[in-house]
Structure 1
Amino acid sequence: MVIARHFVEAMIEQAREQFPNEGCGLLAAENGKVVKFYPIENSDSSPVHYKMDPKQQLHAMLEIEDNDWDLAAIYHSHTHTRAYPSPEDRRLAFYPETLYLILSLADPEQPIMHAYRMDGDDVTEESIEVV
């Protein structure tokens, strides 16, 4: 997946704005290149898990479908832990064909993001190209 730096910066900004709670959102792509970032409210307002606001998530998913884009990634932040899927992240990974981006704010001045594919307990780190 190729992602423009401004989308990464938007995810970092959203995660910092949501802190101390987790931030979350979706990324849409066309031909493997991200074309839109959808910041979505964490309706649980929690520092340890996220639940995307259903109306915002549905709106994003319909727009992705209407534009014939791909759901490229599901993003969320970890506020105090590393950028690795928690047991809950793995349990709730319902889209094995989609990348999961986890942005760690354990050091808020040096956010770290990693990408994973998750299928049950199988977790595989994937590379992303930031341009």
Structure 2
Amino acid sequence: MDEIIAHARRDHPDEACGVVAGPTGSDRPERFVPMLNAARSPTFYEFDSMDLLHLYREMDDNDEDPVVIYHSHTATEAYPSRTDVSYASEPGAHYVLVSTGTDGDVEFRSFRIVDGEVTEEPVDIVDGE
């Protein structure tokens, strides 16, 4: 959570994006992978297609899944936009949104997005040890 928020603050005012990978089938986020927002936009994020290809090959080699797919919203609440929902292609992933806003407060929320259906889920922070 801290690394995701730090990445979102670093990239502000552009949206930040990335993945947290974990062992296949475990639902355990273990490896933080910040990505470059190829769109370099304050209102839209896009993974670079080659970076994403390399990441998926690496996850495949490491027997990992994308457990968390995250991005930030810089001026709106941490809730998936219609565009976010249309691009959500990993039904097993937790879609985390961080709102960095302009007042310094951070909103951190997680969702499941399956077949266009958005369901908010609680965020449980656990010790990584």
* TM-score normalised over the length of structure 2: 0.88
Specify which structure has the bigger relative contact order, considering alpha-carbon pairs within 8 angstroms and separated by 6 or more residues. 1
* 1:74 equivalent in alignment to 2:75: no
Query: Residues of 2 paired with 1:59 and 1:10: CA distance?
Result: 21
Match of 2:8 in 1: 15
Counterparts of 1:1-131 in structure 2, within 5 Å, are 8-30=1-23, 31-107=26-102, 109-131=104-126
Q: Deviations over 1:3-60 (max 9, x none)?
A: xxxxx11111111111111000011112222110110000110111100112222222
More displaced 10-residue stretch of structure 1: 72-81 or 28-37: 28-37
Q: Give the structure with the higher percent strand.
A: 1
Over the aligned positions, Cα root-mean-square deviation in angstroms equals 1.5
Q: How many residues were matched structurally?
A: 124
Q: Determine what percentage of the aligned residue pairs are the same residue.
A: 35
Gaps of 5+ in 1: 1-7
* TM-score normalised over the length of structure 1: 0.86
Query: Residues of 2 paired with 1:66 and 1:108: CA distance?
Result: 42
SS at match of 2:30: strand
Query: Residues of 1 paired with 2:116 and 2:50: CA distance?
Result: 29
1:12 maps to amino acid = I
Query: Residues of 2 paired with 1:40 and 1:125: CA distance?
Result: 24
